[in-house]
Structure 1
């Protein structure tokens, strides 16, 4: 496998700019959460963990409640405007955090911040296939995920050093600057990032609610995507165990310190980064469902012996678990781009973002309950719960080959054309009247008539 394959997607100038904006945004996120942890300790002292857990709960609540709406809007409006507005709004919100004096103010601002995160993330995810086309979008998604995982490892350390240098509250001003830079990068993109809707999606009363329901319906009626969502529940069971109970095992059972805990969690992040690069290089060689089954097995089995090992074996297990976690999540994103028409991908990404975070909302309490009641066997029991669920999902929801091929057939290709009577569609300024090429998608929708099908044309640049 060529480890540099994911970087080929940066040849697309629009995606390259979006990727730079995302990387800047992720650095800002690291500053946000390190600054928030320090602020919570400043205001709440020993009960700061309660404040942070409350903030995480509000984060998930915002994602579950608003991401489906965000996805529906992303199918209708210029996505560039949505991305810019969400960055500027978050810039203003984090600029208020240095002035917080009460706990409730933290809750209010964090919920507000994640309202706009709920609009940003599904819109960004749905935009990647739009601007890269068929050949490059799996690698582009993998590169974005690898960057997310790598900065998840390095970002807190960078943010901690910055906080020590300029002060905990001042971190938020630098955080706001990263959002501003990302907004400018997106604002300077040429043209629009907008999908041309099919005729059936013309504006009608109640359309937004129908789009929201349609996004969830597509998740659960498409067999491979439904399987992917269920596998993400399996992965979240194990992932929550790692995020919630690792610190207790490392510092309580093994009697080690913060540094060793950091090493273990870094191994988890590095494993996720490695698997993102590997998926980008091998995504065309194996079925998406094969990646997900392998990933769910890895992350679940890695927990099985974890309560009985020392530091070095635990780091190896968490490296494997990180690889498994991402081998479930990445194919789930690319399946949506594979199987959903371009003018409906926003609402499906939004629904997927909401449901996948709902799984974590269920898995976190389970991990906390196991950790508080079975501290010396929490990883073992968490692994057994995950394995039972994995077997159930595989036996009941694993899609058959014919289901993967024939629900929606999406055919992307690039071709050159001139505008004429029978071929008209909108372009960014400067394209009209000139021969040019762009990604072109035909969607073959199955009908009851054995000899007919409708072809809808969708375009991206």
Structure 2
């Protein structure tokens, strides 16, 4: 009966349908942009790095601001405008003739994308009752990771079958369809029934409120630091993975694509598993995830000279990495959804989006520097050791953090449907 009630939640199903199409559109767009830059605009390795940075940097600045907007205005309308903005920027990519134009358009795409995530997470909490919130967050994560697996593959097929420009038009159609679906969502319930003092609060003060809320919740703050550190170290490795693969004798060129796919499959498996279990200790998940990720990361440099067996183990290591990262990321998302009131969720998710993106960018930049200084193999080994140390450190504060944990749910009662 409970499962039936979950799937009959029309508002939630509408939101998840829009997210599915939007997530596929995101991965189609990334692949199309990279293909356009590499094969038609002759981008160098440095150009490709700048291209990815141009997508990531706006999120750091706009993440908290997007969270404030998600708490002050109708989230349905914010998501709708975000999808319309992404539709227009994707179509504009068809007319790009210089790399700098692609940088500008990708930055604009990032700005619109940063508006979508806090509003989507806030709307997800608003539309879901407390009993089904963990399941809803897990399904949302499954959607994102399934898109990560099938989006690039579908994009590759489309690029081979039609022109790159045709892929951009198809991608724009996906974002437009997502916008149309969003129009079927109800307006924000808490904004229809309340006029809170936060409406008169300055934007800067509202951004601070998001960080202050996390600071006052030790478990939430611990989860944020763990997630950011794991992302930072993971991006150091990810940014140099192709260099490590290139150093292996006889490594097939498509190995990087296989590693990306199985990483997404590992995280998908974790999302399905976690969604079916009740989480009694978030910090145990953080510890297990960080330690498994550290072991897999530290082992991959030693698999290159083992022939076919080594290649198979190398791919399997990336599957473990994806699954292990899911043990940190997905419980943390569930923790945020269950501990943050719906009228604060935008600001908190915006702050989290900004912090995690900053950690990713620092990891990308630090990976190249570290590999140049000590070599790529030793860099992977050090990253693995740091991740294991982070997991064990998280365990040290477990009793204190969880003893002071509190979940704020009073403000949700009138907002959930």
TM (normalized to structure 2)?
0.91
What is the match of residue 421 of structure 1?
Answer: none
Deviates more, 1:15-24 or 1:50-59: 50-59
C-alpha distance in 1, partners of 2:195/2:109?
Answer: 35
What is the match of residue 342 of structure 1?
Answer: 342
What is the match of residue 325 of structure 2?
Answer: 325
1:226 aligns with 2:182: no
1:275-317 residue CA offsets vs partner (Å, 9 max, x unmatched): 01111111x2432222222111211221122111121111222
Assess, with a 3 A threshold, how the Cα gap between structure 1 residues 37 and 404 changes in structure 2: closer, same or farther. Answer: same
1:241-286 residue CA offsets vs partner (Å, 9 max, x unmatched): 442222222232243122222222222111111001111111x243
Q: How many residue pairs align between the two structures?
A: 408
1:168 aligns with 2:169: no
Unaligned regions of 5+ residues in structure 1, if any?
411-441, 444-455
1:66-105 correspondence runs (5 A): 66-105=62-101
Contact 2:284 2:395 in 1 (8 A): no
1:127 aligns with 2:123: yes
Assess, with a 3 A threshold, how the Cα gap between structure 1 residues 36 and 164 changes in structure 2: closer, same or farther. Answer: same
Which one has a larger percent helix, Structure 1 or Structure 2? 2
Query: What is the Cα deviation at residue 382 of structure 1?
Result: 1.3
Query: What is the Cα deviation at residue 399 of structure 1?
Result: 4.3
Q: Which secondary structure does the structure 2 equivalent of 1:192 belong to? A: coil
Assess, with a 3 A threshold, how the Cα gap between structure 1 residues 308 and 460 changes in structure 2: closer, same or farther. Answer: same
| Correspondence for 2:295 among 297, 301, 312 | 301
Assess, with a 3 A threshold, how the Cα gap between structure 1 residues 170 and 289 changes in structure 2: closer, same or farther. Answer: same
Contact 2:263 2:322 in 1 (8 A): yes
C-alpha distance in 2, partners of 1:251/1:90?
Answer: 35
C-alpha distance in 1, partners of 2:56/2:400?
Answer: 29
1:44-83 residue CA offsets vs partner (Å, 9 max, x unmatched): 4251x32332122122211110111111111121111011
Query: What is the Cα deviation at residue 365 of structure 1?
Result: 1.8
Contact 1:367 1:382 in 2 (8 A): no
1:260 aligns with 2:255: yes
- Alignment RMSD (CA, Å): 2.2
C-alpha distance in 2, partners of 1:239/1:10?
Answer: 35
| Correspondence for 1:287 among 281, 286, 289 | 281
Deviates more, 1:36-45 or 1:211-220: 36-45
1:367 aligns with 2:367: yes
Assess, with a 3 A threshold, how the Cα gap between structure 1 residues 153 and 202 changes in structure 2: closer, same or farther. Answer: closer
1:61 aligns with 2:57: yes
1:188 aligns with 2:188: no
Which one has a larger percent strand, Structure 1 or Structure 2? 1
Q: Between the two structures, name the one with larger relative contact order (CA 8 Å, sep ≥ 6).
A: 2
Query: What is the Cα deviation at residue 150 of structure 1?
Result: 1.9
Contact 2:68 2:350 in 1 (8 A): yes
C-alpha distance in 1, partners of 2:170/2:253?
Answer: 26
C-alpha distance in 1, partners of 2:320/2:31?
Answer: 26
Contact 1:67 1:351 in 2 (8 A): yes
Runs of 4 or more consecutive aligned structure 1 residues displaced over 4 Å after TM superposition: 5-9, 197-200, 396-399
Query: What is the Cα deviation at residue 175 of structure 1?
Result: 0.7
Deviates more, 1:396-405 or 1:111-120: 396-405
Larger radius of gyration: 1
Assess, with a 3 A threshold, how the Cα gap between structure 1 residues 99 and 46 changes in structure 2: closer, same or farther. Answer: closer
Q: Which secondary structure does the structure 1 equivalent of 2:254 belong to? A: helix
C-alpha distance in 2, partners of 1:225/1:17?
Answer: 29
Contact 1:307 1:378 in 2 (8 A): no
What is the match of residue 273 of structure 2?
Answer: 278
1:317-355 residue CA offsets vs partner (Å, 9 max, x unmatched): 211111111111112222122222221111111111111
What is the match of residue 446 of structure 1?
Answer: none
What is the match of residue 435 of structure 1?
Answer: none
What is the match of residue 353 of structure 1?
Answer: 353
| Correspondence for 1:148 among 127, 144, 151 | 144
C-alpha distance in 1, partners of 2:139/2:3?
Answer: 5
1:12-23 correspondence runs (5 A): 12-23=9-20
Deviates more, 1:25-34 or 1:247-256: 247-256
What is the match of residue 307 of structure 2?
Answer: none
Contact 1:238 1:303 in 2 (8 A): no
Deviates more, 1:206-215 or 1:268-277: 206-215
1:459 aligns with 2:393: no
C-alpha distance in 1, partners of 2:4/2:112?
Answer: 28
Contact 1:227 1:397 in 2 (8 A): no
C-alpha distance in 2, partners of 1:323/1:308?
Answer: 21
C-alpha distance in 2, partners of 1:330/1:202?
Answer: 29
